[in-house]
């Protein structure tokens, strides 16, 4: 196959690789899973991430988000990628994914290239895990060894996608509960939400904070007034629902610790972000720590995303290796 003609050295800057430890719940996964069966797999994935990022820098956050939304519904099994067909109701139709989840075409391209290189070998679930890592690295964030060997689900759960993925107006207790169900603790929650240092959100997801946060026609008092005024210019009290705003307005395309610095300055875009600083002394201290120490954030983020990637993987003879990520093999 021909790799994208893009300087990977330029797009993937040198960064610190954080060593992480595999949890006992996913002991059959390994960073070296494809070393013999598909040795070029990671290089192929990286090349397509670089190509997609060069065309549209927003795609980095979009591809990272796919991994999150997949793992939080019955584990990291690529169920999110399945289109509706037969008895399958696609998770793409849930409120959390409809009109916002994107990057599926990039996954299709990667899978097509990997099938040409080593047929029926690399799972779609592993592609999502690799793409998440490479998307962060290309934005200047940390890197880590991705544990591999997941297999793909033969079913999806639209109801699970509706119930298990946090929303922009989730309370802190709801966030804690949703993460705990997945085996993720408070430290994981704060670190993983730090991924909102890249990406965008639509006006409709935070409008209430600007105009009627508590039902009294006043803005959210935990939102910096100057920042709120700036947001109001592109997010009026009605209309323009789909207008996009950077989750981190300072360094929107760089994976860094400005997300936490923004929260300290009451400039978090989403309510579900700012509450980390305003509603719990424990999460407030973590936010302040990461705002002051980017390396500590990077190290914890790497640990936490590996832990998230270990949620209920299908291994051994469970599931399958899909030939096309959008549909199960028996649909061919």
pLDDT in tens, 53-104: 999 999 999 999 999 999 999 999 999 999 999 889 999 998 888 888 999 9
- 170: helix, strand or coil: coil
Annotated ligand binding at 91? The verdict is: yes
Name the catalytic one among 67, 69, 213, 330: 69
- Where on the phi/psi map is residue 223: left (φ > 0), alpha (ψ -120 to 50), or beta? beta
**Across the chain, how many H-helices and E-strands are there?**
14, 4
Annotated ligand binding at 273? The verdict is: no
Annotated ligand binding at 256? The verdict is: yes
Annotated ligand binding at 70? The verdict is: yes
Cα–Cα dist 257/96, whole Å: 25
CATH 3.40.50.2000 matches 40-199+247-310: no
Quick check: is 69 catalytic? yes
- CA distances for 164 relative to 175, 177, 205, 310, 319, angstroms: 10, 10, 18, 17, 21
Question: Does the structure show a pLDDT above 80 at 248?
Answer: yes
Cα–Cα dist 89/73, whole Å: 13
Question: pTM of the entire structure?
Answer: 0.92
Percent of the chain with pLDDT over 90: 86
pLDDT in tens, 217-226: 889 999 999 9
Annotated ligand binding at 176? The verdict is: no
Cβ burial, residue 217 (10 Å; 0-12/13-18/19+): exposed
Radius of gyration of the chain (CA): 19
Average pLDDT over residues 301-324: 97
Annotated ligand binding at 83? The verdict is: no
Question: Does the structure show a pLDDT above 80 at 120?
Answer: yes
């Amino acid at each position: 196959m021909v790799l994208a003609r893009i300087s990977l050295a330029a797009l993937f800057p040198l960064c610190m690789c954080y060593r992480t430890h595999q949890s006992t719940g996913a002991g059959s996964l390994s960073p070296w899973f494809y070393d013999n069966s598909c040795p070029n797999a990671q290089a192929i994935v990286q090349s397509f991430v670089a190509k997609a990022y060069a065309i549209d820098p927003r795609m980095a956050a979009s591809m990272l988000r796919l991994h999150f939304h997949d793992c939080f519904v019955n584990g990291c099994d690529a169920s999110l990628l399945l289109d509706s067909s037969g008895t399958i109701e696609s998770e793409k139709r849930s409120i959390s994914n409809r009109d916002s989840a994107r990057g599926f075409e990039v996954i299709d391209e990667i899978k097509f290239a990997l099938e040409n290189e080593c047929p029926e070998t690399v799972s779609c679930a592993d592609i999502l895990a690799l793409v998440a890592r490479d998307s962060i690295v290309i934005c200047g964030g940390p890197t880590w060894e991705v544990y591999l060997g997941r297999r793909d689900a033969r079913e999806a759960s639209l109801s699970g996608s509706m119930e298990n993925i946090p929303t922009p107006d989730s309370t802190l207790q709801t966030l804690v509960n949703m993460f705990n169900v997945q085996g993720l603790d408070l430290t994981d929650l704060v670190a993983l939400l730090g991924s909102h240092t890249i990406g965008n959100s639509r006006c409709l997801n935070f409008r209430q904070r600007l105009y009627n946060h508590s039902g009294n026609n006043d803005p959210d008092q935990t939102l910096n007034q100057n920042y709120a005024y700036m947001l109001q210019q592109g997010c009026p009290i009605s209309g323009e629902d789909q207008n996009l705003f950077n989750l981190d307005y300072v360094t929107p395309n760089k994976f860094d610790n400005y997300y936490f610095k923004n929260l300290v300055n009451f400039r978090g875009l989403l309510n579900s972000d700012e509450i980390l600083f305003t509603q719990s002394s424990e999460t407030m201290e973590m936010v302040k720590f990461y705002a002051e120490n980017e390396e500590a954030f990077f190290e914890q983020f790497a640990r936490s995303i590996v832990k998230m990637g270990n949620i209920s993987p299908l291994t051994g003879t469970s599931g399958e290796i899909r030939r096309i990520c959008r549909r199960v093999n028996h649909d061919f």
